[in-house]
């Protein structure tokens, strides 16, 4: 983040704090409960959002060298992510082109050839079909080059491998990742997440809609109440700011120490020491930037009421030595986020009870309205 912006964001929050003000929108917002509960809505999001937009598939450390591969599920599709001999990261449907068996069963490993367990069709890490038993006699007119693995748009940037989980051929045009991430890329690049290591990586299942989970992270209205036993003492009451950056969002959640900065020279102001910054990379990746480390929260929406989450702690390579410290940090993160997830599950259980036809967002919960607008805009743009 450039220095002018950093000072501007700090100034804005200090001014709000000293005026006892809040970061307010003009109007309150609403979201119909079906948006979180309906199978039709979920199916629409699956087709038009999750299968058309980039997902974080791997940290670069998980595909560090040629031959490294990972098996992941993205938007309901089985995906094989490889790093080829040429060093290029690629993603394919993990489905054999002969009769459709799952090609790779292991979650991760390192190899340059993948042999199907059914009839041994064998593919290179770059996707080509390189051998198949009795091919010439069994498939006399077939062209091997037409039987490569089904590739999907893949992009390596910001320390991660990103995948749009749809076959290249179904999208009409190449996905323009660069343009898509442009509004947020410079700031996230500065975090240098490629030079971080993942010291913890949990996968958990939450019985709540993916949007409820995102919404729980982009407002500070709940901090003093829901997190009273954990992080509440360190943060202001209901004070945060946000900006939409394309489909993405930057949220700033100030610590109580930020208000004291007003007495010190601006030259020494450093946002990261006095606030958490949350980058939400639409639709399903969030980077929670803390003073000395970054927490990754990645959603894999499985159903209207079911989301798998990856919660990882990334620390700079140079600082990774004290693993006990980082594991303690990660445990605090998990405890705090679990408070949010329990509330998310509680919301989900009551959604179709008849109590609410719609949920209501206060003027200081404008980030939720903006996020829901990104979902709606994406659906409208693609459909
Ligand atoms: S299904 Fe893979 S080789 Fe037959
Ligand atoms: Fe929270």
Ligand with an atom nearest the CA of residue 212: 2
User: What's the rounded mean pLDDT across residues 292-318?
Assistant: 97
Q: Which residues line ligand 1 (CB under 6 A)?
A: 96, 98-101, 116, 118-121
**Is-contact 307 286, C-beta < 8 A?**
no
- The answer to whether residue 179 is domain-embedded is no
Closest CA to 367 of 248, 245, 242, 280: 242
Ligand 1: atom nearest CA of 132 is: 3
pTM: 0.95
Q: Which residues contact 259 (CB under 8 A, 6 or more apart)?
A: 14, 17, 18, 236
Is the bond leading into 311 cis (omega within 30 degrees of zero)? no
Q: How confident is the model at residue 318 (pLDDT cuts 50, 70, 90)?
A: very high
Residues 86, 166, single domain; the answer is yes
What percent of the chain clears pLDDT 70, i.e. is strictly above it? 100
Q: Which range, of 191-200, 204-213, 307-316, 318-327, averages the lowest pLDDT?
A: 318-327
Closest CA to 49 of 209, 178, 184: 209
Rg of the chain over all Cα atoms, to the nearest angstrom: 23
In whole angstroms, how far apart are CA 98 and each of 121, 132, 143, 146, 183? 8, 9, 13, 11, 42
Residues 305, 229, single domain; the answer is yes
- The answer to whether residue 296 is domain-embedded is yes
User: What's the rounded mean pLDDT across residues 113-133?
Assistant: 98
Which protein residue has the closest C-alpha to ligand 1 atom 1? 99
Q: How many residues does the chain have?
A: 383
Residues 135, 36, single domain; the answer is no
Residues 272, 153, single domain; the answer is no
Ligand 1: atom nearest CA of 101 is: 1
State pLDDT tens for residues 149-187: 999 999 999 999 999 999 998 888 999 999 999 999 999
Strand runs (DSSP E) across 207-274, as ranges?
241-245, 248-254
210: domain CATH number is 3.90.380.10
Q: Which range, of 24-33, 43-52, 70-79, averages the lowest pLDDT?
A: 24-33
**Which of 138, 155, 174 is the last residue before a domain boundary?**
174
69: domain CATH number is 2.102.10.10
For residue 224, what are the domain limits?
3-51+184-382
**Structural tokens at position 365:** 């919960």
State pLDDT tens for residues 350-378: 999 999 999 999 998 889 999 999 999 99
In this predicted model, which residue has the larger pLDDT, 23 or 174? Answer: 174
Residues 168, 228, single domain; the answer is no
Q: How many angstroms separate the CA atoms of 365 and 28, rounded?
A: 8
């Amino acid at each position: 983040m450039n220095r002018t912006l950093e000072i501007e964001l700090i100034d804005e929050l200090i001014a709000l704090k000293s005026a006892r003000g809040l970061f307010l929108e003009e109007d309150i917002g609403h979201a119909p409960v079906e948006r979180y509960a309906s199978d039709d809505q979920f199916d629409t999001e699956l087709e038009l959002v999750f299968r058309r937009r980039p997902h974080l598939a791997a940290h670069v450390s998980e595909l560090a060298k040629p031959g490294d591969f990972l098996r992941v599920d993205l938007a309901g599709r089985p995906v094989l992510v490889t790093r080829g001999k040429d060093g290029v990261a690629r993603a394919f449907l993990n489905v054999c082109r002969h009769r459709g068996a799952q090609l790779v069963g292991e979650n991760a490993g390192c190899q340059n050839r993948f042999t199907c367990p059914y009839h041994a069709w064998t593919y290179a890490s770059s996707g080509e079909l390189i051998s198949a038993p009795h091919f010439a006699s069994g498939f006399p007119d077939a062209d091997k080059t037409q039987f490569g693995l089904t590739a999907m748009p893949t992009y390596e940037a910001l320390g991660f491998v990103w995948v749009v989980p749809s076959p290249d051929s179904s999208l009409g045009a190449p996905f323009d990742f660069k343009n898509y991430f442009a509004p947020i890329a410079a700031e996230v690049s500065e975090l240098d997440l490629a030079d971080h290591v993942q010291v913890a990586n949990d996968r958990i299942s939450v019985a709540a809609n993916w949007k409820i989970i995102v919404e729980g992270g982009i407002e500070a209205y709940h901090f003093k109440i829901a997190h009273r036993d954990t992080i509440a003492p360190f943060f202001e009451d209901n004070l945060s700011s946000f900006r939409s950056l394309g489909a993405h969002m930057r949220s700033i959640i100030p610590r109580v120490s930020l208000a004291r900065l007003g007495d010190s020279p601006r030259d020494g102001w450093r946002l990261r020491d006095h606030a958490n910054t949350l980058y939400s990379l639409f639709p399903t990746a969030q980077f929670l930037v803390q003073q000395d480390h970054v927490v990754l929260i990645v959603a894999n929406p499985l159903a209207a009421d079911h989301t798998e989450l990856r919660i990882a702690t990334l620390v700079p390579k140079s600082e990774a030595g004290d693993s006990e410290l980082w594991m303690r940090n990660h445990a605090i993160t998990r405890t705090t986020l679990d408070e949010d997830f329990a509330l998310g599950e509680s919301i989900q259980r009551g959604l179709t009870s008849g109590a609410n036809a719609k949920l209501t967002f206060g003027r200081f919960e404008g980030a939720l309205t903006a996020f829901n607008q990104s979902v709606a805009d994406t659906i409208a743009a693609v459909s």
